[in-house]
Amino acid sequence: MKNDKLKNVLLCFVSGIIGAGCFFGGMYFFPESFGKVVTETVEKTVETRNVTINDTGIAEAVDKIYDAVVVVKNYKKQELYSTGTGFVYEVDGNTAYILTNHHVIEGGSEVYVQFTDGKTIKTKVVGSDKYADIAVLSIDANDSVKIASIGSSEEVRVGDTAFAVGAPLDATTYSGTVTRGIISGKNRMVSVSLNNNNVSDWVMSVLQTDAAINSGNSGGPLSNANGEVIGITSLKLVNSGVEGMGFAIPIETAMEYAHKIMKGEKIERPYLGVSMANLSDARQEYYPRLENLGVTSGVFINSVEKGSPAEKGGLKVADVIIRADGEEVTSMAYLKYLLYEHEIGDEISLTVYRDGSEQDLLIKLTEVSSN
């Protein structure tokens, strides 16, 4: 029995020596193969570690822009009429320029801005545009004026961090409020009522964010994680079943209009020269006439101005515009959006439903002022 145990021990010992010899011999004579295995193992380990994310907050990014943000106070007959937010985006010589929304300063007679140090200054309204919802204010500059860094909305990705700085609700109590979220969507088409009457007059292409946007935030900056402005907070979706849907005008669009306003350029947009209604509304007024029309959506033409681009291009009363430049027209607001994508002198292609069939028209656009 003892001899058998001894034989087993010796057998294990010899097997171990042979195995080790084979291993090291393989490494000596075939190093590439062993090196490949080691390399692949290391690469897999590194790949696993690359998905680790560390969130250290955005305090430094907020510091970069915070003092460039102002509270905008709009007065009418020496009484506070409305409030909002704005930010210094440029200094030229002795003049500092501030961006905000048109609807923030609309209807007032005097506009003041309040800085983070509490200093309040009366501004000059350089100009504004209601469709773009952009307004430019100016003040005398000094060495203490801080300028916001301008970023790019085109480079931002859905899921990137975004934050807003503004004065929600009470312009004094809650000024300088910072809210954080992400970019929830890009190129969102949102209907806007220009007269606060719940009728969609215009469609805007905007950024969507879940950073909290409240009344008073309008005109303030939406910034990326580097503290650069990528949009101007303009509106939010209000509904009992909706939460966390705010929208911002892309900074490229805002700056395009701001520079035109600074240069004193007249902002002009093309027009058709018609009165119109959404087909759904027209059906209620002209139901017997439209009962068997054959289309379910579009824009109904009520009248055509004499000598207008519409008349010259062949539009007629009772036509229904169903497509513009090949895109489906679902409402007057969206038709205006497609129309205002054109420059003065451009031609727009319209497809209309008339007398039971579709017809294509080409209309050369002339100008009309938006102011």
How much is the pLDDT for 321?
95
How much is the pLDDT for 266?
86
Mean per-residue pLDDT, 311-338: 93
How much is the pLDDT for 281?
75
How many angstroms separate the CA atoms of 24 and 164, rounded? 63
pLDDT at 271 over 90: no
User: How do residues 54-90 score in pLDDT, each as one tens digit?
Assistant: 556 799 999 999 999 999 999 999 899 999 999 999 9
pLDDT band at residue 142 using 50, 70 and 90 as cut-offs: confident
pLDDT band at residue 290 using 50, 70 and 90 as cut-offs: low
How much is the pLDDT for 285?
60
User: How do residues 3-28 score in pLDDT, each as one tens digit?
Assistant: 555 555 455 555 555 555 555 555 55
> Which two three-digit tokens encode residue 17?
């020596």
How much is the pLDDT for 150?
97
How much is the pLDDT for 202?
80
| Unique residue bearing structure tokens 């007249």 | 266
* Closest C-alpha to 87, from 145, 46, 161: 145
User: How do residues 225-246 score in pLDDT, each as one tens digit?
Assistant: 999 999 999 875 544 455 668 8
As annotated, the active-site residues are: 103, 133, 218
How much is the pLDDT for 38?
43
pLDDT at 141 over 80: yes
Q: How many C-beta neighbours within 10 Å does residue 335 have?
A: 23
Distances (CA, A) of 223 to 180, 181, 191, 256, 317: 10, 10, 23, 18, 47
More confident residue, 295 or 345: 345
Q: How many C-beta neighbours within 10 Å does residue 281 have?
A: 14
Global confidence as pTM: 0.76
